[in-house]
Structure 1
Amino acid sequence: MTLFKFLCSLVARACCTSILLFFVAACKDAPEKKLPSAPPNTTATDTVSEPEPIETEEPFKLTEENAIDFFFDYQKDLVENKVKITTNLGTFTVQLFDDVPYHKANFIYLVRQGYFNETQFHRVVKNFIIQGGNSDDLATANKRKAIGRYLLPPDTRKGHKHHRGTLSIPSSEINNPHMLASPYEFFIVVKDPGSYHLDGDYTPFGKVISGMDVVDKINGRPVGKGDWPSQNIYIQKMEVLP
């Protein structure tokens, strides 16, 4: 080999080595490419958590167990003692006795609940009494169900008698050997001067102070079997007076 060829061979090798080193260096400096991350699994089998149910308070109802405590607290701040009763035959007003606190509190509570509105005087006994607070329709039964099921103890030792115009409360007729009072009903004595044979068995808790002529008018309406008026006599509205 001539000297000229030998030199050319050395030059060629040097060039190849430089090119290779440049390529390797370029590869090292190039940023690494990453594979895209997989999207979150959103297949149809995924379950969505249900929102927790909101707890709601049960509506308050009166019962045999809580009624006395409830009315004991209710009557503490009760200063009102007059109720206006509007019927389809006229209007009269009663005043409640302050010394019969449970029966007074019960009556005013029911008035404020709207219980007596659209009930009836369902029993009319000539020259004796008119009795109200009941009705044979479903709406009245539903109102009683919403307020609660309870009875009141009699309170007959306060000296009140069943004079004419006295507001009193009948006893329940169902399983009631102790003459517990039926809280949803009341009666008014019409007989003059009074029906004193009722004293000691029923609780007088108020008296008519105006409109006794309307009470007499109700008592004069014709009645059918069971002393139920031949035509309905409605208590259209009761309201507590200041």
Structure 2
Amino acid sequence: MRNYLAALGALAALFGFHSCKDTPKMEATPEVEVVETLKDTVVVDSAEEPEEEPFRLNEDNAIDFFFNYAKDLKETKVKISTNHGDFTIQLYNNVPYHKANFIYLAKAGYFDNTYFHRVVKNFIIQGGNADNKETSRKRREIGRYLLPPDTRKGHKHHRGTVSMPSSEINNPHMLASPYEFFIVVTKPGSYHLDGEYTPFGKVISGMDVVDKINNLPVDDGDWPKQNVVITKAEAF
């Protein structure tokens, strides 16, 4: 009986080899492992399990994710490099979700090759978006979510303050758009923004670069006539 089974196995292997050679494979087939026992020949499926869906942030998991992410954070600053120079942001510790979000996006490389896409003279510069496919792809891969406002921590919109704009889409509670940020240029500040938006840091060096960007010529939509590129955002 064992000799008979062995002969059948040899014929099957020969036929299988011939079929694989002459017939194009249209679909991946799970590998199998043939294990011979005293009683029978058992076919064991050894194909790898399908990969899990990649993690993406959404409205349901973002708060829990950033709550836990903030626990192990050692970084407190982010250096923004642009094609007009560099500046450094000190992040506030008592707005943990917004701080963790900004560091997470910086470490994920989201801000790299985005623009300062809105410049309002003597008011603000706003960055974190771009009209390119790469930025859209990054947003899809990271996820779609908003952050709750955190406006009662005593931070005001002084000159150099870094704050988070609110989403303009179906957003009666002024939830923050996590992918963008703006920097106040006004002297001494733009205090009419207090209570509406969440300050989460301040520029501690390179404010002259922020002023330089703020003085660039813009079109009718406040977009700089020459792109102001964030070449790198580094958390440290």
Measured against the shorter chain, the TM-score band is 0.7 to 0.9
Query: How many Å separate the matches in 2 of 1:154 and 1:188?
Result: 17
Residue 139 (structure 1) aligned to one of 128, 134, 143: 134
Q: Give the Cα separation in 2 of the matches to 1:230 and 1:37.
A: 81
Deviations 1:45-78 (A, max 9, x none): 9x99843353212111101000000000010121
Give the CA deviation at 1:37: 7.1
Which residue of structure 1 aligns with residue 25 of structure 2? none
Where does residue 230 of structure 2 map in the other structure?
A: 235
1:103 corresponds in structure 2 to 98
- Aligned counterparts of 2:103 and 2:4: Cα–Cα separation in 1: 73
Secondary structure at the aligned position of 2:171 is classed as coil
| Partner Cα separation in structure 2 for residue 40 and residue 139 of structure 1 | 55
Matched residue type, 1:81: T
Structure with a larger share of its residues in strand: 2
Residue correspondence of structure 1 range 82-93 to structure 2 within 5 A: 82-93=77-88
Measured in 1, the distance between the counterparts of 2:49 and 2:146 equals 34
Secondary structure at the counterpart of residue 71 of structure 2? coil
Ranges in structure 2 where 5+ consecutive residues have no aligned partner? 21-28, 32-46
**Aligned residue identity for 1:97:** Y
Distance in 2 of aligned mates of 1:96 and 1:143 = 23
Alpha-carbon distance between aligned partners in 1 of 2:188 and 2:98, rounded to the nearest angstrom: 24
In 1, distance between residues paired with 2:49 and 2:73?
A: 36
User: In the comparison of the two structures, how many residue pairs are matched?
Assistant: 205
CA distance in 2, matches of 1:50, 1:198: 59
CA deviation string 1:143-191 (max 9, x = no partner) = 0000000000000000100000000000000000000000000000000
Letter in 2 for 1:129: I
Partner of residue 126, structure 1? 121
Q: Which residue of 2 aligns with 1:159?
A: 154
- Tell me the residue number matched to 2:214: 219
Q: Write the distance in 2 (CA, Å) between the matches of 1:192 and 1:198.
A: 14
Query: Looking at CA atoms only, which structure, 1 or 2, has the larger radius of gyration?
Result: 1
Partner residue in 2 for 1:33: none
User: Which residue of the other structure, out of 17, 34, 50, is the alignment partner of 1:55?
Assistant: 50
RMSD of the alignment, in Å? 2.1
Deviating more after overlay: 72-81 vs 198-207? 72-81
Q: Cα gap change, 1:210/1:55 in structure 2, threshold over 3 Å: closer, same or farther?
A: same
Q: Distance in 2 between matches of 1:50 and 1:232?
A: 50
CA distance in 1, matches of 2:4, 2:230: 78
Equivalent position of 1:192 in the other structure? 187
Q: Deviations over 1:14-70 (max 9, x none)?
A: xxxxxxxxxxxxxxxxxxxxxx9795383769x998433532121111010000000
1:214-233 deviations in Å (ceiling 9; x for gaps): 00000000000210000000
Partner-residue secondary structure (3-state), 1:225:
coil
Amino acid at match of 1:228: W
Q: What per-residue deviation string (whole Å, max 9, x for no partner) do you get for residues 177-207 of structure 1?
A: 0000000000000000000000000000000
**Distance in structure 2 (CA, Å) of the matches to 1:192 and 1:206:** 17
Counterpart-to-counterpart distance in 2, 1:191 and 1:37: 90
Letter in 2 for 1:40: L
CA distance in structure 2 between the partners assigned to 1:213 and 1:40 by the alignment: 81
The TM-score, its normalising length taken from structure 1, stands at: 0.80
1:40 and 2:8 correspond:
yes
